[in-house]
Structure 1
Amino acid sequence: MFSGAQICLYPMTDDFVGVILGAIDALEPYRPSFRIETDDVSTLIVGPPEQLFPAMRDLFLAAANHGIHCVLAATVSRGCPGEPDDPICTPIGHVVHDKPLDDRIAAAIAQVVDAPKTGQIVAAQFSLYPLGGGHHMDEIYGCIEFLKKSGVFDRSKNFCTKLRGDAGAVFATLSEAFLRFGALNGHVAIDLKVSANSPSAV
């Protein structure tokens, strides 16, 4: 399965170059299983879907741990029919989509509970798009039910859902939303913003 993310990082500091390059270095442990390409707009990571959000978490923490206001913007996708096959991408092995929605919600909550604590509080807002026909609204409503039980649900907003909490739990919640909702072999996309150390946090 072709899965990946286009990521933009915005550190609010005069030393933005050093912060961005240092954050990209945090992706080094993922290089054996990822294709990583950086240009003057964004960084592309392509690889196993279950590793995408841990990689984004580590990149974001490397920047946010400086104590500066930092924002990550990403478009995340799996199963896009318009992308070429890539041997680095593999099917989602540990997620079973043929289980009932209630079972998937319970399994997703368990994964969030076990997420590592980072000590960095973040806010995130995202929209989930399980594309194609069928019962996509059932998947969206199931995901919303999971989010409300995740422990990091902040509130519903126009066009998106807001999360707040430790970065470990927030990125685990985003990963579970991405992996467990929408058709196993269907196209699923997420539009994501994550913020840390904001002067206007509410």
Structure 2
Amino acid sequence: MSEVCGSSNRIAGSSFSIYPMSDRFVEIIKSSLNEVETSKVWMKTDDVTTTVRGRMIHVFDVTKAIFLQAAKTGEHVVFQATYSIGCPGDSAGDVYMAEDNLAQNVSTSGLIDQEVAAKFSLYPMGGGNYMDVIYSQIEDMKKRGVEVGEAHYSTRLDGDGNRVFNGLEQVFQQTDEQGSSHTVMTVTISANSPSKKGGK
């Protein structure tokens, strides 16, 4: 089975699931999706995940906004996502690459004050001098008030949800720009968890 790249192999994408730990989970998920502007991305939701494709800035803008809209309900919400950029990949998002770089949800999601805990792992494939980039971006996150810690198989981030998402976007973007032909990042973010930080 051959993989097909579209007219631009710099289409970014995210496949994510959001889990509200509430008996109102259907309402929370649907309202979060409805409250976010998604006209600049290709998006499809099925019974397992939602997939978003287009320019990197809009992929992160939409996924961040959906999570923060769900988290602002005060319910314990978990967000799991895989971000990807580069070939191989499908061409379904090509048409959205003509969009501008003005993020549509910043004015609303930027007002949501939400503490989160996150873990992420980054997988640059196909070359690139990426380790120094990752370390420098992590140091930059610390300067912006995000607490960075070690975790098994990942890096832990604690802090304001907007700052954490912005840091994730920066490390993903910088890794891509340093020459990784295909970059994958896995992310788990939790808000309003009743459990103690770090677990047992």
Please tell me whether the aligned partners of residues 13 and 56 of structure 2 are also in contact (alpha carbons under 8 angstroms): yes
Please tell me whether the aligned partners of residues 154 and 162 of structure 1 are also in contact (alpha carbons under 8 angstroms): yes
The answer to whether residue 52 in structure 2 is matched with residue 45 in structure 1 is yes
| Counterpart Cα distance in 1 of 2:42 and 2:160 | 28
| Counterpart Cα distance in 1 of 2:64 and 2:101 | 21
Please tell me whether the aligned partners of residues 117 and 166 of structure 1 are also in contact (alpha carbons under 8 angstroms): no
Please tell me whether the aligned partners of residues 127 and 181 of structure 2 are also in contact (alpha carbons under 8 angstroms): no
**1:199 corresponding residue in structure 2:** 194
Shift of 1:137: 2.9
Letter in 1 for 2:147: F
| Counterpart Cα distance in 1 of 2:136 and 2:145 | 16
Structure 1 unaligned spans of 5+: 95-114
The answer to whether residue 183 in structure 2 is matched with residue 188 in structure 1 is yes
Aligned match for 1:5, one of 11, 14, 17: 14
Alpha-carbon deviations, 1:80-124, whole Å to 9, x = none?
x11133232369979xxxxxxxxxxxxxxxxxxxx9452111111
- How is 1:15-164 mapped onto 2 (pairs within 5 angstroms)? 15-27=24-36, 29-31=37-39, 33-79=40-86, 81-85=87-91, 86-89=94-97, 116-164=110-158
Q: For the aligned residues, what is the CA RMSD?
A: 2.4
What's the TM-score, normalizing by structure 1? 0.79
CA gap 1:196/1:10 in 2 versus in 1, 3 angstroms: same
CA gap 1:10/1:46 in 2 versus in 1, 3 angstroms: same
Letter in 2 for 1:35: W
**2:160 corresponding residue in structure 1:** 166
CA gap 1:166/1:136 in 2 versus in 1, 3 angstroms: closer
Letter in 1 for 2:38: Y
Letter in 1 for 2:88: G
Please tell me whether the aligned partners of residues 142 and 181 of structure 1 are also in contact (alpha carbons under 8 angstroms): no
| Counterpart Cα distance in 2 of 1:92 and 1:193 | 28
Please tell me whether the aligned partners of residues 10 and 71 of structure 1 are also in contact (alpha carbons under 8 angstroms): yes
Please tell me whether the aligned partners of residues 138 and 148 of structure 2 are also in contact (alpha carbons under 8 angstroms): no
Structure 2 unaligned spans of 5+: 1-9, 103-108
Please tell me whether the aligned partners of residues 48 and 89 of structure 1 are also in contact (alpha carbons under 8 angstroms): yes
CA gap 1:78/1:154 in 2 versus in 1, 3 angstroms: same
| Counterpart Cα distance in 1 of 2:160 and 2:62 | 16
Shift of 1:168: 1.4
| Counterpart Cα distance in 2 of 1:36 and 1:89 | 14
CA gap 1:164/1:90 in 2 versus in 1, 3 angstroms: farther
